[in-house]
Amino acid sequence: MSSLNLVILGPPGAGKGTQAERLARARGIPKISTGDILREAVQAGTPIGLRAKAIMDRGELVSDDVMIGIVKDRLDRPDARPGFILDGFPRTVAQAIALDGIMAGRAPLIVVDIAVPEAELVRRLGARLICESCGKNAEGVSDPSVPCPRCGGRLTQRADDNETVVLERLRVYHRNTAPLVEFYRTRPTFRSVDGAQAPDRVAAALEAAVAEAGDPAAGQPEGVRR
């Protein structure tokens, strides 16, 4: 199987983390979340991880150059050489330009945007539960009395999943990410999929989008938009 280097874009609640994990398992490549690798770099005490920790300890946002450095370090590891799926990076055009530089000498970058109407995102996020112990979303579970399917921990709603906060998060996402989607949109390896479908149908559309983006001569699959 040829190398797959994939970026999954999408607003909060689009299901990009779930789909990234599913596809990464199927392809045997790492799913790389910026939140996970940031925590890992801080815990490992790497030079750039220490820089990030100092920034976060001051209550500031981690800058583009620090995030770019952390992602570059992670993509340079042997397990990412056959391919990877990025979830949460890039978030800005500056990060996207830097990622193009990191990708020099690798297989082309495929970018898929999971598009979901705002009303559906608000509904999903309002019903979303996370585990207090492992911090993972409880996919498909809406009853907080049910233990976490992963670790058995207690499920609760995130403090920032109430409607007012959700709408503000979506406004911030669209303001910051619209330029990023436009940055990629004209590339032959960019696709958009309908994320308002059932998870299995989104997974099928994502697989079809990846296959078509890797072979531009292929026909347009159902649920995939250029």
Closest-CA residue to 154 (of 143, 140, 168, 164)? 143
Q: Among the options 39, 91, 106, 201, which is catalytic?
A: 91
> What are the phi and psi torsion angles at 192 (to 5°)?
-125, 135
Catalytic pick among 16, 27, 74, 124: 16
| Beta-sheet pairing, 190-194 with 155-156 | unpaired
How is residue 207 written in tokens?
Answer: 């697989």
Residue 136 annotated among the catalytic residues of the structure: no
Rounded-to-integer distance, Cα 5 and Cα 123, Å: 31
* Catalytic status, residue 158: yes
Count of CA atoms in the C-beta half-sphere (13 A) of 180: 26
Residue 91 annotated among the catalytic residues of the structure: yes
Q: Which of 123, 150, 158, 201 is catalytic?
A: 158
16 in catalytic set: yes
Is 123 a known active-site residue?
A: no
Residue type, 19: Q
Distance of CA 79 to the CA centre of its chain: 18
Q: Among all residues, which ones are annotated catalytic? A: 16, 91, 128, 158, 169
